[in-house]
Amino acid sequence: MAELDSSSGRLRMSVLGAVAFALFMALFARVWFLQIMSEQEFVALAEGNTERSVVELAPRGRILDANGRILVDNRPSIVITMDKETIANNVSGEELDELFFKLAQEISATGKLTKVAEIEVAYDSDQFGPFAEVPVVRDVTENLQLYLAERSHEFPGVNSQVVLVRSYPYGELAAHILGYVGALNEAEFAATEGHPKRYQPNDEIGKSGVELFYEDQLRGTPGFRELEVDRFSNVVAVLENTDPIAGSDVQLTIDINIQSLAEEELRDGLDRARSQEVILIEGEEPPEYHAPAGAVVIMDPTSGDVVAMASYPTFDPGLFVNGIAVEDFEALNDAANDFPLLNRAVQGEYAPGSTFKPFTTYAALDTGLIGSRGVLEVNSTYQDMGVYWIPNCNTSDCRFTNARSEALHDVDLRMAITLSSDTYYYNLAANFDRLAFDADSVQQAAKLFGFGSPTSITLPFETSGFMPTPASVAAAYEAHPDLFIGGSEGRWTTGMTLNTSIGQGDVLASPLQIANAYAVIANGGTLYAPNLGKAVVDPITGEIETQFGPRIVRELYWPPLISDPINVGLAGVTTYGPDDQDRKGTALTAFSGFPHDEWPVSGKTGTSEKVSADADFAVFAGFGPLPNPEYVGVAILEEAGFGGAFAAPVIRKIFERIALGTVRERITEAEQDQRDARVADLFEQGFSPDEIEAILNGDLTLSATGEAVEPAEPTEGGT
């Protein structure tokens, strides 16, 4: 019995030992398999992991007016994209064609017409690398976004993302100032290589206006994530993460209410010019007043700040959001449409006409041609008979006249400005040549006021204008001798001096240059570089990052013996009109009824000629209120006729609104839509237009019974 028990115990121990050994061997085999046999597989899987860089776009800074109103904002837009790497690895041949066809079909079904060829061009573009997300179409509906996401197996590599695009609360208003953004082209992308704000191939960049000039401030710094992903694009690890930083807001000197007023009055002025009655003059072809375009500039002469800048025709910057259609872009650059993209306020070059006469006056007074020791005196009169002949010259090229050869009779310096006597200035200019003054004395003086060079406004693409000189004429003759007639052979002539003295001939200036020059007269001798930027502002805290102040270019010699005759002459342009004479200031009619007692205005009219035009260009420059002007205004209307008749009324209406405090508050397009809906609702309820206006203005309110009643007086201590 004892032997049986001993034998049974040994058996059990053997069985347990065998089981333990088997378990140990199984564990050992598994460890050996994991460490040795699967090593190559794990290495292969690890090697299959890749690093991928993901850029998170940063919001672009907003653009604000002088009072903080938002002129350019951002809004979300859903973008359909194609992952080139995924498509290249999973789709090829006929499958790729089918994918493009199905994608174009689904997008077009939502109303965003998209052609297969457009998708192919985007996919094959060298602008996007092999791992890029290629944008196909923007501003799609959420329904399409969900549809494509739910059928990702049918659309491999097709994704969607939400990006921010530009929005314009005021529509077309101030379009030339604000500018627009567009996709980087190859040259721009190459130029941004190494930029600290890391531009990507499908990024947008400022193309014109403030958007371009302040690109560095407005652009945000993109976020950056370096990811490790497996071959199925699953994120394994985040290797690096940097959050995006929004771009800064840029606040402008523009007052959007005055900007709106300037654009409105410019359009109205051109409309009036087109509808004017044509006066027939015997022996002359009747002019055709097309009045196709023009510009207005309103400035603060005490600082150089631009308050408003209008150019017509204008454009809708919203056309450029998500990429402008080729036909739309061509239309905006078409001469038949008068080049709507051209900002005539800073890019237009015009003969300033008689608005140039104060600067010729400065030359005469500063050089001593007019003065107590000069050939002429401020108070000495000149007999204006409407025609001037250059002395010792008997050809037709030596005959110069006033507008319509009108005789103004006895005029002194001040009256020559007020009445705009051309012959007075012809005689003045001839004396520069006759008495051996510098042949370009007038040009030298004009350049002190900024003519002939850019103003350095904070906008791109500004023109410099042109001041003709003996040197420029000689250079032009050497380049194109066939264009010179009359045997001058590139020599500067007295006739050229005469034309230059009244802002004609080859004198060219932008509306901004004229406004900036008149700001010197208005402020008493300081030439500023005009500003459009007021400050750069932190979009989160509202704190000012950079403050822009006045930029003085130079101080001019401006003693009373020079300033007084000019200022008296300019003041008479809008006020001089004695009852006993036919002569009157050239803008007296335009400023009839203006509140001169509270807001006196000085100014100068101009009517400039252009050989290729069917009618004269109307020009006016003015400033007020006197004696310490706060505003300078310039208007130029192409092919509109006399400056006093059509340009002066534009500035008069703007100044009058400012003087009376009746500049209307400009509301956004969304607010206007709400207002229109409210008007329609009140009209359906039976209210008259006057009642509706009173309700909208708060002068009437609706009672519980739906009647229009006067608002209740607030109780004492109430609000």
DSSP state letters, 591-643: TTT--TTTS--EEEEEEE--TTSSSPEEEEEEEESSSS--EEEEEEETT---I
pLDDT-derived band at 313 (thresholds 50, 70, 90) equals very high
Cβ atoms 214, 60 nearer than 8 A: no
Burial 678-705 (b: 16+ CB within 10 A, else e): ebeebeeeebeeebbebbeeeebeeeee
d(CA 141, CA 106): 11
pLDDT for 45: 47
Average pLDDT of 126-145?
A: 81
> Tens of pLDDT along 430-470?
988 777 677 789 999 999 999 999 999 999 999 999 999 99
Please check the confidence at residue 329 and state whether its pLDDT lies above 70: yes
Average pLDDT of 665-681?
A: 93
Q: How far is CA 583 from CA 253, 351, 407, 484, in A?
A: 40, 25, 10, 39
Hey, how many other C-beta atoms are within 10 angstroms of the C-beta on 467?
Answer: 20
DSSP bridge partners of 633: 298, 622
Query: Which positions ≥6 away from 188 have C-beta within 8 Å?
Result: 205
Identify the three-state secondary structure at position 373. Answer: coil
d(CA 219, CA 416): 53
pLDDT for 4: 46
User: 481 or 39, which is more confident?
Assistant: 481
pLDDT for 444: 95
pLDDT for 21: 57
Average pLDDT of 303-311?
A: 98
pLDDT for 309: 98
- Dump the DSSP string for 405-426: G---EEE-HHHHHHHT-HHHHH
Please check the confidence at residue 234 and state whether its pLDDT lies above 80: no
Average pLDDT of 274-280?
A: 84
Query: Which positions ≥6 away from 18 have C-beta within 8 Å?
Result: none
pLDDT for 50: 72
β-pairing, 409-411 vs 223-229, is unpaired
Among 543-552, 571-580, 703-712, whose mean pLDDT is lowest?
Answer: 703-712
Place of tokens 């008749």: 645
Domains belonging to the chain, first-starting first, are 52-252 (3.90.1310.10), 256-279+288-333+343-660 (3.40.710.10), 669-709 (no CATH)
DSSP state of 461: S
Q: Which of 643, 591, 593, 594 shows the shortest CA–CA distance to 617?
A: 643
Among 39-48, 52-61, 559-568, 706-715, whose mean pLDDT is lowest?
Answer: 39-48
d(CA 344, CA 635): 11
d(CA 686, CA 691): 10
User: 710 or 359, which is more confident?
Assistant: 359
DSSP bridge partners of 429: none
> In 59-157, where do the E strands start and end?
63-64, 70-83, 133-138
DSSP bridge partners of 182: 205
d(CA 413, CA 566): 8
Query: How would you class 286 by CB atoms within 10 Å of its CB: exposed for 0-12, middle for 13-18, buried for 19 or more?
Result: exposed
Please check the confidence at residue 93 and state whether its pLDDT lies above 50: yes
Identify the three-state secondary structure at position 666. Answer: coil
pLDDT for 41: 53
pLDDT-derived band at 700 (thresholds 50, 70, 90) equals confident
Please check the confidence at residue 718 and state whether its pLDDT lies above 70: no
Compute the Cα dihedral for 324, 327, 330, 334 and give only its sign.
Answer: negative
pLDDT-derived band at 30 (thresholds 50, 70, 90) equals low
DSSP state of 319: G
Alpha-carbon dihedral angle through residues 624, 626, 627, 633, given to the nearest 10 degrees: 20
Task: Provide the token pair at 137.
Answer: 């179409």
Which H/E stretch holds residue 513? helix 511-523
Average pLDDT of 381-403?
A: 87
Give the up-direction half-sphere exposure of residue 518: CA atoms within 13 A in the CB hemisphere.
34
What angle, 0 to 180 degrees and rounded to 10, lies between the N-to-C axes of helices 93-109 and 116-124?
Answer: 120
Question: pTM of the predicted model, to two decimals?
Answer: 0.87
pLDDT-derived band at 355 (thresholds 50, 70, 90) equals very high
Please check the confidence at residue 22 and state whether its pLDDT lies above 70: no
d(CA 386, CA 371): 25
Please check the confidence at residue 47 and state whether its pLDDT lies above 50: yes
d(CA 197, CA 544): 21
Cβ atoms 171, 669 nearer than 8 A: yes
Query: Which positions ≥6 away from 279 have C-beta within 8 Å?
Result: none
d(CA 355, CA 643): 10
β-pairing, 249-252 vs 617-624, is unpaired
Alpha-carbon dihedral angle through residues 686, 688, 693, 699, given to the nearest 10 degrees: -80
Give the up-direction half-sphere exposure of residue 560: CA atoms within 13 A in the CB hemisphere.
0
Range of 103-107, 191-195, 600-604 with top mean pLDDT: 600-604
| DSSP collapsed to 3 states, 1-53 | CHHHHHHHHHHHHHHHHHHHHHHHHHHHHHHHHHHHHCHHHHHHHHHHCEEEE
The residue type at 63: I
* Cis check: omega of the bond before 313, within 30 degrees of 0: yes
pLDDT for 612: 75
User: Average per-residue pLDDT in the chain?
Assistant: 88
Please check the confidence at residue 48 and state whether its pLDDT lies above 60: no
Cβ atoms 165, 322 nearer than 8 A: yes
Please check the confidence at residue 284 and state whether its pLDDT lies above 90: no
β-pairing, 701-702 vs 708-709, is antiparallel
pLDDT for 18: 56
Which H/E stretch holds residue 476? helix 470-479
pLDDT for 531: 97
Query: Which positions ≥6 away from 27 have C-beta within 8 Å?
Result: none
Query: Which positions ≥6 away from 307 have C-beta within 8 Å?
Result: 66, 253, 254, 255, 258, 259, 298, 299, 300, 631
Separation of first and last alpha carbons in the chain: 113
Burial 151-160 (b: 16+ CB within 10 A, else e): eeeebebbbb
Compute the Cα dihedral for 63, 68, 69, 70 and give only its sign.
Answer: positive
Please check the confidence at residue 302 and state whether its pLDDT lies above 90: yes
DSSP bridge partners of 466: 508
Average pLDDT of 100-126?
A: 87
Query: Which positions ≥6 away from 204 have C-beta within 8 Å?
Result: 60, 181, 182, 183, 184
DSSP bridge partners of 527: 554
